[in-house]
Amino acid sequence: MSDAIRLGIIGTGSISIRGLLPHLTMEDVQDRVRITAVCDPVYERAQAAAQRFNVPHAFATAEELLASGAVDAVSIASPIGVHYEQGKLAIDHGVHVHFNKSMTTTVDEADDLIARAAEKGVRLVSSPGEMLRPRHQRIRQMISEGVLGTLTWAVTGAAFGRYHEDEASVRHGDDPLTNINPAWYFRRPGGGPLYDMTVYGLHAMTGILGPARRVTAFSGVRVKEREFLGQVLPTDMDDNTLMVLDFGDNFFAFVYGVPAGGLPQMGRPLIFGTAGVINGDKLNGKPFDYAGMELDQEFGMNGSLPHVVGAHRSMEEAHVYEDVMQLVDWLREDKPTVASAEHARHVIEIFDAAYRSAETGQAQILRTMF
């Protein structure tokens, strides 16, 4: 494709209103991608989003959007638990797909999407594209050069806190675009901190260190209820998961997704060896040089991403915009991306296997690679 890609947005919740739509409707990308349709089961929200961002079509369902013929590709920004069914629907329509994290909730679902896409000639890109970051590319290079000596262990993870309840711009208003209920983040399927937050660090860790081989875990629900605008939101998805990964040759990593309380000053990820430690942008406590370091220091971790230029650097969720542009480039210029469905599948298998390990009390052998 050489013309601008016609992109649909499935789901007009927080990530779309704060990230996808503001970035992808800016003037500087209109020669490459144009938002032609949005959908949301809260139809008033889809209509309001279309009006705010000058999108031609608004629908209540993904089925209607895909049947309209108005899109070449979609970004699936709905609750994680429905990504698989909506992704399958898009693939069956021959529509290319960007998945906001996480692509699916089980490895079998990911297998099915990848196989279907190959059969239909559909291209899949999956967030988060952590290995697009120059910092992570440099860390992988430094480790291969031996700067840490023999690797000993690593750690990554994330905590929910009250991030989703307190997203002021989309949670506490009185109109469809500012009163979005976050209940799904705490419910099955697809809720919990692993699929939503730990996924970033684990994509970085496996991108730098390579695929894991085994996982063992403890997991359960620690915070049984949450409060949002006077409502009680029940939690039935595990929100407290601690796991150990085996990368082979007795090199292990600790990974967590918890309701509150993260490790202090932890980069993404933290890697130890006999010759020192890499934490964020520091090697043994001192900054290391990498392409785009100055941009990251000025604008935060998204500043050095390849498509995040100009005004995009100071906008929310620029990394999600970057991942969509990876699909756009692949379609227009035949440039494949490292933000691949295969990498996403491996991370999903780790989560899937961790929950299985917690249920059975047994370590789980992983089968996927990327």
- Dihedral sign (CA 314, 315, 316, 322): negative
Query: What 3-state class would DSSP assign to 149?
Result: coil
In this prediction, residue 267 has a pLDDT band, given cuts at 50, 70 and 90, of confident
Among the candidates 77, 108, 126, a domain finishes at 126
> Which of 10, 25, 21 minimizes the C-alpha distance to 73?
10
- In the predicted structure, residue 133 carries a pLDDT above the cut 70: yes
Instruction: Work out the average pLDDT over 108-122.
Output: 98
pLDDT attached to residue 168: 87
**331 inside domain:** no
pLDDT attached to residue 266: 87
Instruction: List pLDDT tens digits, range 292-325.
Output: 999 999 999 999 999 999 999 999 999 999 999 9
Write down the mean pLDDT value for the chain: 97
> Which of 158, 149, 350, 109 minimizes the C-alpha distance to 266?
158
Residues 60, 140, single domain; the answer is no
**281 inside domain:** yes
Q: How many domains is the chain built from?
A: 2
In this prediction, residue 1 has a pLDDT band, given cuts at 50, 70 and 90, of low
**15 inside domain:** yes
- Dihedral sign (CA 31, 32, 36, 42): negative
Instruction: Work out the average pLDDT over 243-259.
Output: 98
Instruction: List pLDDT tens digits, range 36-67.
Output: 999 999 999 999 999 999 999 999 999 999 99
Residues 99, 244, single domain; the answer is no
Residues 87, 150, single domain; the answer is no
Residues 118, 137, single domain; the answer is no
- The amino acid sitting at 315 is M
- In the predicted structure, residue 2 carries a pLDDT above the cut 80: no
Q: Is the pTM of this model over 0.95?
A: yes
Residues 170, 292, single domain; the answer is yes
- CB-side neighbour CA atoms (13 Å) of 116: 21
Residues 108, 151, single domain; the answer is no
Integer Cα distance of 154 and 238 in angstroms: 23
Among the candidates 95, 126, 157, a domain finishes at 126
Integer Cα distance of 44 and 50 in angstroms: 10
- In the predicted structure, residue 120 carries a pLDDT above the cut 90: yes
CATH number where 361 lies: 3.30.360.10
- Tell me which residue range forms the domain holding 235: 131-311+337-365
Phi-psi region of 134 (alpha: psi -120 to 50; beta: other; left: phi over 0): alpha
**220 inside domain:** yes
Q: Give burial (CB, 10 Å; 0-12/13-18/19+) of 112.
A: middle
**278 inside domain:** yes
In sequence order, which residues have a C-beta less than 8 Å from that of residue 285 and are 6 or more positions away? none
pLDDT attached to residue 107: 98
Residues 233, 217, single domain; the answer is yes
- In the predicted structure, residue 8 carries a pLDDT above the cut 80: yes
Residues 45, 100, single domain; the answer is yes
The answer to whether 59 touches 38, Cβ cutoff 8 Å, is yes
CATH number where 96 lies: 3.40.50.720
Q: Give burial (CB, 10 Å; 0-12/13-18/19+) of 43.
A: middle
- In the predicted structure, residue 256 carries a pLDDT above the cut 90: yes
Residues 117, 154, single domain; the answer is no
Instruction: Work out the average pLDDT over 353-362.
Output: 98
Instruction: Work out the average pLDDT over 127-152.
Output: 98
**176 inside domain:** yes
**237 inside domain:** yes
Residues 232, 360, single domain; the answer is yes
**152 inside domain:** yes
- In the predicted structure, residue 265 carries a pLDDT above the cut 90: no
Instruction: List pLDDT tens digits, range 83-99.
Output: 999 999 999 999 999 99
Residues 18, 95, single domain; the answer is yes
